[in-house]
Chains A and B, each alone.
Chain A
Amino acid sequence: MKKLLGSILLCLCSMQVFAGVAVIVHPSNGDSLDKKDIENIYLGKTKSFPGGGQAVPVNLEGGAVREAFDSNVLGKSASQLKAYWSQKVFTGKGTPPKEVASDAEVIGLVSSNPNIIGYIDSSQVNGSVKVIAEY
């Protein structure tokens, strides 16, 4: 119970205070990406990194880091993005990035697959991934 309360508190804290959004890729990924490149990958406008490798974006399910990424990098509100993707999904023109629940899961996916790109709270970055941009 104590543990649960602790994790809820931790969760609430991390939702309110975060250092910034770090966009991460596998350490072997040599591509440099600007904001437009990241936006194109996350809006499904391209399926590859500038260097040619396949790019698979991963989203966080929700929370402050997701909100910051949506508004600062993609320049859209959650409902604008939902409208954008519902148009794609229901016309067979694309599917939104897969969503995972936590920073740790994003790190796990990115560090194990060179094709995956993700973003996490900057304070959670560790040596298993490479930061390509911070917002």
Chain B
Amino acid sequence: MKQSLAICLGTLLLSTAASAEVHISGFASVVGGQVLEGSGVEEFGLEPTFLADYPLVGAYTEEWSFEPDTLFGLQFSADLMDGLSATAQVVSRGADNFSASFEWAYLSYELNEHWTLQAGKKRLPLYYYSDFFDVGYAYPWIRPPADNYTWQIFNYTGASALYNYLIGDWTMTGQIYYGREDDEPNKLLSEFFFGASTREIWKDIGGLVVQFNRDWLDIRLTHMQYNNERFIGGEQRIWDNGSTERKGKFYGLSVNVDWNNLLVLTELNRLTLEGSDLDTYLVTLGYRFGDFLPYVSYSDFDDGSEIHNTASVGLRWDFHPSAAFKIQYDDVTDDGVGAGTPDSWRVAGDAKAISLGVDLVF
């Protein structure tokens, strides 16, 4: 019995090995940092804080810490042949006390040369850097500018279609997606904004991404819509429109230039939520000197009440074929209205912070 089971398993393993090639790849960031000088937010009893990563509440204080930006990710991809593949990604983050969880799990089917269908749990491709936010090696900064990436939801479960066309000297790529996300407790809202367990639901998320690329120029346009429901401390939130649901519409434009050694990265976004506009933008300038990329960056968030921006200066050094060392200085200004009152719209106050670390892919 034991023997036949062993043979059975052996055959199974062999046949799996023969039909599916499993590929393991991964990424990691080990980053430390601290607040050099900060105001905190007195009305919330918040000590000097640099909120480096909104969705995960990666926050630095005046004490040196490795937790806010450090993470390890492993991706398993099984090629089932004839265009079918299965991918799963496990990520362990310092901001989550290094507990590992499946961020992604999806099936992918290559319909033809131009179209690929995917279904399962994926990262939401909202902003330019949203769907590879965790892969520090793929961009210049330590992390994408926090003022732009303030969203509560960064994954969704659903289906998407990726496309890819060559049009003369241009490549047109993009994605059409539909799905939902029900996050409880939502980390950003529960731990930072409301101080009470919050369930954040985005229903009927529907989006379109169109990206044009030619040599040194890259242009990305995106639109996304969703219906938002929220429960704070178990109680359903009634929005200003008198309903339990509110509609969000997101528009984004990104123009990136990588010309000779000059790098210009820009992003301009607007989210309209029941009549109010949440505007964000970022601009980064960098210049490559061999393996060194110094850069300056500015990012801004403004919805009329919550207003903050960050000026940054940093350096990326590709010191190894698979790894980059980065150091970055951030200066955050929090101009949220009503400072010092119970109606304060400040988030984390002003802060000057330093962070440095290594990003790698394997």
What is the interface of chain A, defined by CB distance below 8 A to chain B?
36, 40, 45-48, 77-79, 82-83, 86-87, 89-93, 95
Is A93 a contact of B113 with CB atoms below 8 Å?
A: no
What is the interface of chain B, defined by CB distance below 8 A to chain A?
23, 25, 27, 73, 75, 77, 87, 89, 104, 106, 108, 113, 118, 122-123, 125, 131-132, 134-135, 137-139, 162, 164, 166, 169, 171, 173, 213, 291, 318, 321-322, 324, 361
Look across to chain B and name the residue whose beta carbon is closest to the beta carbon of A36.
B169
Is B73 a contact of A79 with CB atoms below 8 Å?
A: no
Partner of A45, one of B27, B137, B164: B164
Is A79 a contact of B291 with CB atoms below 8 Å?
A: yes
| A86 to B87 Cα, complex, angstroms | 15
CB-CB < 8 A to B104: which residues of A? 92
Is A91 a contact of B131 with CB atoms below 8 Å?
A: yes
| A5 to B361 Cα, complex, angstroms | 33
Is B361 a contact of A82 with CB atoms below 8 Å?
A: yes
Partner of A92, one of B106, B113, B291, B321: B106
Q: How far does the Cβ of B152 sit from chain A's closest Cβ, in whole Å?
A: 21
Partner of B171, one of A45, A48, A83, A89: A45
CB-CB < 8 A to B164: which residues of A? 45-46
Q: How far does the Cβ of B146 sit from chain A's closest Cβ, in whole Å?
A: 20
Partner of B132, one of A46, A47, A48, A87: A87
Q: How far does the Cβ of B209 sit from chain A's closest Cβ, in whole Å?
A: 11
Q: How far does the Cβ of A6 sit from chain B's closest Cβ, in whole Å?
A: 27
Look across to chain A and name the residue whose beta carbon is closest to the beta carbon of B362.
A86
Look across to chain A and name the residue whose beta carbon is closest to the beta carbon of B213.
A45
Q: How far does the Cβ of A96 sit from chain B's closest Cβ, in whole Å?
A: 10
Is A90 a contact of B106 with CB atoms below 8 Å?
A: no
CB-CB < 8 A to B173: which residues of A? 93
Is B134 a contact of A90 with CB atoms below 8 Å?
A: yes
Look across to chain A and name the residue whose beta carbon is closest to the beta carbon of B135.
A90
| A83 to B359 Cα, complex, angstroms | 11
Q: Total contacts A to B, CB within 8 angstroms?
A: 60
Is A47 a contact of B27 with CB atoms below 8 Å?
A: no
CB-CB < 8 A to A77: which residues of B? 318
| A67 to B139 Cα, complex, angstroms | 22
Interface centre among A40, A83, A86, A95 (most CB of B within 10 A): A86
Interface centre among B108, B321, B361 (most CB of A within 10 A): B361
Is A90 a contact of B89 with CB atoms below 8 Å?
A: yes
Q: How far does the Cβ of A102 sit from chain B's closest Cβ, in whole Å?
A: 19
| A21 to B173 Cα, complex, angstroms | 30
Q: How far does the Cβ of A53 sit from chain B's closest Cβ, in whole Å?
A: 11
Partner of B75, one of A46, A87, A89: A89
| A46 to B139 Cα, complex, angstroms | 24
Interface centre among B89, B108, B166 (most CB of A within 10 A): B166
Q: How far does the Cβ of B74 sit from chain A's closest Cβ, in whole Å?
A: 11
| A6 to B53 Cα, complex, angstroms | 54
CB-CB < 8 A to A92: which residues of B? 87, 104, 106, 108, 118, 122, 162
Is A86 a contact of B138 with CB atoms below 8 Å?
A: yes
Beyond A45-B213, A46-B166, list 5 extra A-B contacts (CB 8 Å). Answer: A45-B171, A46-B113, A82-B361, A90-B27, A91-B132
Is A90 a contact of B322 with CB atoms below 8 Å?
A: no
| A77 to B134 Cα, complex, angstroms | 22
| A87 to B318 Cα, complex, angstroms | 16
Q: How far does the Cβ of B154 sit from chain A's closest Cβ, in whole Å?
A: 13
Is A86 a contact of B27 with CB atoms below 8 Å?
A: yes
Look across to chain A and name the residue whose beta carbon is closest to the beta carbon of B175.
A93
| A125 to B75 Cα, complex, angstroms | 37
* Given A45-B171, A82-B137, A90 and B166 contact (CB-CB distance below 8 Å): no
| A115 to B73 Cα, complex, angstroms | 34
Q: How far does the Cβ of A123 sit from chain B's closest Cβ, in whole Å?
A: 26
| A87 to B139 Cα, complex, angstroms | 9
Q: How far does the Cβ of A73 sit from chain B's closest Cβ, in whole Å?
A: 14
Q: How far does the Cβ of B176 sit from chain A's closest Cβ, in whole Å?
A: 14
Interface centre among A36, A77, A82, A95 (most CB of B within 10 A): A82
